[in-house]
Amino acid sequence: MADERAESDRPGAVDRALQVMELIGVAGSAGVTELALELGVHKSTVSRILSSLEARGFVEQVPDGRKYRIGLTIVRLAGSTMATLDMTKCGQDTCDAVATQTGETTNLAVLNQSQAINVIEAAGSSSVALQTWVGQASPAYATSSGKVLLAELSETELREKLAGELERFTDATIVDIDELVEEVRTVKRRGWAMAVEELEVGLVAFAAPVRDHTGELVWALSVSGPRYRLDPDDAAKIVATVTTAAADLSRLFGYRAAGSAGA
């Protein structure tokens, strides 16, 4: 028992408390036994941590009294953070950084009905065009950003949203709804999308999702450029850049992916 008390008194106890909250946040709710197993500590240690967190409103017991969930204190703190965080500025900063790193045009887009609309943009050093994509709507099914945004929909919602004949823009445009559903499933599974000359001949783009603290998709981050610079057969580097930047921006907004809490 003395050893257990000593364990909770170490400086690492604060880190344990944070780990407990992260694990509960990822799982939705968790009990003393499963938290102790996940952290590799005694159940009594977890119980003391939970008692302290509960007293300050960071966690609360679910109605059955056997598990704990995130408390209102965390909700209030998260709301305060999101209220003061300038998401647009953060998005612009990310686009600027990615455009500088890749040399290609970088955008953040939202879904409006069946259209992907770019809301933030940064031109890369390799860009020679004066055209801006900000405010322009593109058919979601023919763009990398749009595929990421569509991947949040159920199959039923996807088919309803894209009901009717899909317009062909190039020979590579996916116009078969069943093929598109399969493509979107792939995007959802692997966490990023690619569009190779599906909207414009010679245009290649890669995109990844950006989420907020609730896990909801808020933007799709994309990098686009000519095929002679963005080779789809050698996409590993650009995909890593886009997915990492999108994940970093999501974490800035408070998003924690399942399994990211650590032991």
Whole-prediction pTM value?
0.66
Confidence bin at 263 (pLDDT 50/70/90): very low
Q: What distances in angstroms separate CA 148 from CA 37, 38, 74, 223, one per listed residue?
A: 36, 33, 29, 13
Domain containing 149: what range?
A: 87-253
Q: What are phi and psi of 69, to 5 degrees?
A: -130, 170
Residue ending a domain, choose from 76, 111, 128:
76
Task: Give the pLDDT score at 154.
Answer: 93
Tokens 């204190």 found at: 73
Has residue 83 got a pLDDT over 60? no
Q: How many CB atoms lie within 10 A of CB 45?
A: 21
At 134, give phi and psi (nearest 5°). -60, 130
Residue 259's pLDDT is 53
Is the domain of 71 the same as that of 102?
A: no
Most trustworthy range by pLDDT among 37-41, 86-90, 127-131, 167-171: 167-171
Scanning the structure block, which residue is given the tokens 């890669």?
Answer: 206
**Domain end call among 26, 45, 76:** 76
Residues 215 and 244 occupy one common structural domain: yes
Q: What is residue 243's predicted lDDT score, i.e. its pLDDT? A: 96
Task: Answer yes or no: are the C-beta atoms of 1 and 42 closer than 8 Å.
Answer: no
Find the helix or strand (DSSP H, E) in which 92 lies: helix 87-102
According to the model, what pLDDT value does residue 105 have?
Answer: 92
Separation between Cα atoms, residue 180 and residue 150, nearest integer Å: 10
- Tracing tokens 């309803």 back to the chain, one arrives at 160
User: What is the Cα gyration radius of the chain?
Assistant: 22
